[in-house]
A and B are shown apart, each in its own frame.
Chain A
């Protein structure tokens, strides 16, 4: 066999192996520049229908961040032959080349129609120098999403449970705003995929399976032998009120309101691991809250939700009062109800 033929066979082999194993464009993931369109990454076999490639796995969180009632499709990609590692109480340590993908959408019509308006697809790309965040905004034809750096306002509507249309001024975050929430000790990190927030049964096309086990069988993660706790589903009334409330505060507030997050200037820490009552807000006075304090003295007054700054800021939709500061334009009634119940029950 001549050298030339061998090379050719090699190329053919590489070509085939690319097609079989690596539909995802790893070069695009690791590059300093961003492709102009989402499809250049090759995450989806049918992008408009949000059907992922075989090596991109859909996942869901037990208690997710509230984002103006948008639906979220989440996907994870880990490069072939590499695995994410368990970290105690923290997000998986993903290998370089991994991507977390999240598409935001609203139901187009009332409850009986499942057609969606895709709004944006956010990516967290684990590059050589660490995680990087970028978002792609869907076009009107809904056949492609385009790179967006500076953020964007999208006036749209969603349909509530009773089928009523609600107008919404949806904000696509700019690059800096991604960092505001995803920053921990000066580096960008994912927030959602902590093992404890993935630890539940999920229905896959080949049947139900625990999500962590599925990740293991797909070799996304190394085998784990330790007991993994599970956060409470904040909507599950069989769980204790305290667990549900803390799970909700953890995912909605704890990324900034922790000792390592960007709201640590406030001394209010709402991450699940915080146990100091005052740091959680109980009889804690505000620091630099301005109008956010709402004429109240403490973040949480046990038994008295209507005197508690925490709830006041969840209810508000005014930019200088509401919490979180970004990522929502309307109030999350189910979250408000839960936190009200939690504070009311406190002694």
Chain B
């Protein structure tokens, strides 16, 4: 075995752990893969500076491993010539930390973690270096069906679906990260308890999406806080392959909330988004009709204390939702839009109080909601533009906390 085991050190709980160092080489894939299979729980696999050219996907299935590099500009796993593997790196184990390296130009997703209980992405970069293209892989950072997901200080560029995508997961923090030139910058889908803060989402098609979709093992996405983010100038044409839900996202959308419950959007700077800054919509596709245990409408959405400006100047008329809003909004596109779609009984008799959309103190924002019954009956001007009707008391959602294993707290 040509892997050098050169450093051992002692953790606070007296377990001997190895640092297995893998330098770049001609057969880097085999060397790294071998290390990731032969490592013992508690070990660190360390990739030194340099570019590793890799043809076959890597995978990690051992708990409590650190896979580290020497910075996302220095340790680069280059999959430009990838021959096999639906992703660059697949993680299927628990309490895994990935930090300080880059994965570029994978054929499919860059890093996927499935079923991980404790997965920590720290200071990573995932990028397709040829700019936005539909031939780019779908996701940059892609934890799914995972618990205790931490994404901190990462950069995601050029994904043909979402740069940072957290799906069907629970207890999630996405912070201090930058997502740009993706179709969706950051997407939280079918997930429970997520905090998304201190991020920059710019030059994507849509900045931050909070979605819930039917017919999945985990649905009923709820309790998501999106705060203190910069969601700016999302001006890239939608380049998602058709058939994917994000293919419907209009260029120039800041935030879209679709069919989620209990979402709090606050203290964000949202500006320069040519279609609109915030859209709150139902999942209005026919699939929702027969779906079991699925609620297709947003409820318990609170939008407050955001700084909104400069939107609607170039709506993406190729996308249905943008065309509808533009058609109804006439000259003034709204910063905040709600499609108003509710279960029929609620459209007639009103929503339960706790389900109502609440809008408070969104500086300089304009608003529009569709009145769906009037809309369906083709009554002229079936909208309301008055956000005063949506004032209410903010009920702050609890913060998400993730307890890192003690060895990761340094």
Q: Mark B242-253, 1 if CB is under 8 A from A, else 0.
A: 111100000000
Q: Please indicate the chain A residues that have their CB under 8 angstroms from the CB of B165 in the complex.
A: 288
Beyond A151-B56, A265-B145, A288-B138, list 14 extra A-B contacts (CB 8 Å): A171-B56, A174-B59, A176-B36, A176-B90, A180-B90, A262-B115, A265-B217, A267-B217, A288-B142, A288-B165, A290-B139, A291-B134, A319-B107, A326-B84
Interface centre among B60, B86, B217 (most CB of A within 10 A): B86
CB of B82 within 8 A of chain A? yes
CB pair A320 B107 closer than 8 Å: yes
Q: How distant is B55 from chain A, measured CB to nearest CB, in Å?
A: 8
Contacts of B167 in A (CB 8 A): 265, 287-288
Residues of B within 8 A of A174 (CB): 33, 37, 59
Least CB distance, B138 to chain A, in whole angstroms:
3
Q: Which of B60, B142, B217 touches A176 (beta carbons < 8 Å)?
A: B60
Query: Are B243 and A267 within 8 A (Cβ)?
Result: no
- B33 and A151 within 8 A (CB): yes
A60–B55 Cα distance when bound, in Å, is 33
State whether A325 and B85 are in contact (beta carbons under 8 Å apart), knowing that A289-B243, A296-B243, A319-B108 are contacts in the complex.
yes
A279 surroundings in chain B (CB, below 8 A): 215
Known A-B contacts A149-B37, A150-B33, A151-B33; A285 and B85 likewise in contact (beta carbons under 8 Å)? no
Interface readout for B42-80 with A: 1 if CB under 8 Å, 0 if not? 000000000000011101110000000000000000000
A149-B37, A265-B144 are known contacts. Are A287 and B109 too (CB-CB below 8 A)?
A: no
Q: Report chain A residues within 8 Å CB of B170.
A: none
Tell me, in angstroms, the Cα distance from A286 to B90 when the chains sit together. 20
Contact with B along A288-304 (1 / 0, CB 8 A): 11111111110000000
Check if A175 is an interface residue, CB within 8 A of chain B: yes
A243 within 8 A of B: no
Given contacts A174-B33, A289-B244, contact A267 B216 (CB under 8 A): yes
Within the assembled complex, what's the spacing in Å between the Cα atoms of A288 and B183? 13
B243 and A179 within 8 A (CB): no
| Docked-complex contact A291 and B56, CB < 8 angstroms | no
Contacts of B34 in A (CB 8 A): 149-150
A47 within 8 A of B: no
Tell me whether B138 and A291 are in contact (CB under 8 A). Answer: yes
> What residue in chain B is nearest A262 (Cβ atoms)?
B114
Residue of A nearest to B217 (CB): A264
Contacts of B61 in A (CB 8 A): 175-176, 179
**B241 near A: Cβ within 8 Å?**
yes
How far is it, in angstroms, between the C-alpha of A289 and the C-alpha of B285 when the chains are bound? Answer: 18
Question: B215, A284: Cβ atoms under 8 Å?
Answer: yes
Asked if A309 CB lies within 8 Å of chain B CBs, one says: yes
Shortest Cβ gap from A330 to chain B (Å):
12
B residues less than 8 Å from A128 (CB atoms):
none
The interface bits of chain B over 148-188 (1 if a CB of A lies within 8 angstroms of the residue's CB, else 0) are 00000000000011000101100000000000000000000
For this complex, 22 residue pairs linking A to B, each with C-beta atoms less than 8 Å apart, are: A153-B55, A174-B37, A175-B37, A175-B61, A176-B92, A180-B92, A262-B92, A265-B114, A265-B167, A265-B217, A278-B215, A287-B167, A290-B139, A291-B134, A291-B137, A292-B138, A293-B242, A294-B241, A295-B241, A296-B243, A319-B86, A320-B109
- A interface, size bucket: 35 or more
Bound Cα distance A68, B68 (Å): 35
Judge whether A67 is part of the interface by a CB distance below 8 angstroms: no
Distance A90 CA – B89 CA, assembled complex (angstroms): 32
**Interface hits, A295-318 → B, CB 8 Å:** 295-297, 309, 318
In the complex, the answer to whether B241 meets A267 with C-beta atoms within 8 Å is no
Asked if residues B83 and A169 are in contact (CB atoms below 8 Å), the reply is yes
A278 to B55 alpha-carbon distance, docked (Å): 36
Check: B287 CB closer than 8 A to any chain A CB: yes
Residues from chain A with a CB closer than 8 A to the CB of B83 are 153, 169, 319, 329
Any B CB within 8 A of the CB of A58: no
Q: Mark A174-189, 1 if CB is under 8 A from B, else 0.
A: 1111011000001000
Query: In the complex, A186→B115 CA distance in Å?
Result: 10
Interface pair B215/A320, CB less than 8 Å apart: no
The answer to whether B213 has its CB under 8 Å from any CB of chain A is: yes
Shortest Cβ distance from residue B397 to the other chain A in the assembled complex, whole angstroms: 26
Instruction: Tell me, yes or no, whether B30 is within 8 Å of chain A by CB.
Output: yes
Structural contact, A297 and B243, CB atoms closer than 8 A: yes
Residues of A within 8 A of B57 (CB): 319
Q: Does B135 contact A (CB under 8 A)?
A: yes
Nearest CB in chain B to that of A320: its residue: B108
B78 CB to closest chain A CB (Å) equals: 15
The residue from B37, B161, B285 contacting A290, defined by CB atoms under 8 A apart: B161
Residues B161 and A288 in contact, CB atoms below 8 Å apart: yes
Q: A40–B95 Cα gap in the complex (Å)?
A: 36
Closest to B35 in A: A150
Name the residue on A nearest B290 (C-beta).
A278
Q: Which 6 A-B pairs have the closest CB atoms?
A: A290-B138, A320-B108, A293-B243, A150-B34, A295-B242, A176-B59
Chain B residues with CB under 8 Å of A319's CB are: 57, 82-86, 107-108
Q: How far is the CA of A264 from the CA of B82 in the complex (A)?
A: 25
Query: Quick check: A287 and B213 within 8 Å, CB to CB?
Result: yes
Find chain A residues with CB under 8 A from B7 CB. none
For B38, the chain A residues whose CB sits under 8 A away are: 149
Closest to B242 in A: A295
- Asked, given contacts A176-B61, A267-B215, whether A286 binds B243 with beta carbons under 8 Å apart, the answer is yes
| Closest Cβ–Cβ distance, residue B272 to chain A (whole Å) | 27
* Chain B residues, Cβ within 8 Å of A297: 242-243
* CB < 8 Å neighbour of B241 from A175, A287, A293, A318: A293
- Contact status A285-B287, CB under 8 Å: yes
**Min CB gap B168→A, angstroms:** 6
Q: Which residue on B lies nearest to A174, using beta carbons? A: B33
Enumerate chain B residues within 8 angstroms of A309, measured Cβ to Cβ. 243
Whether the pair B160, A291 counts as a contact (CB closer than 8 A) is yes
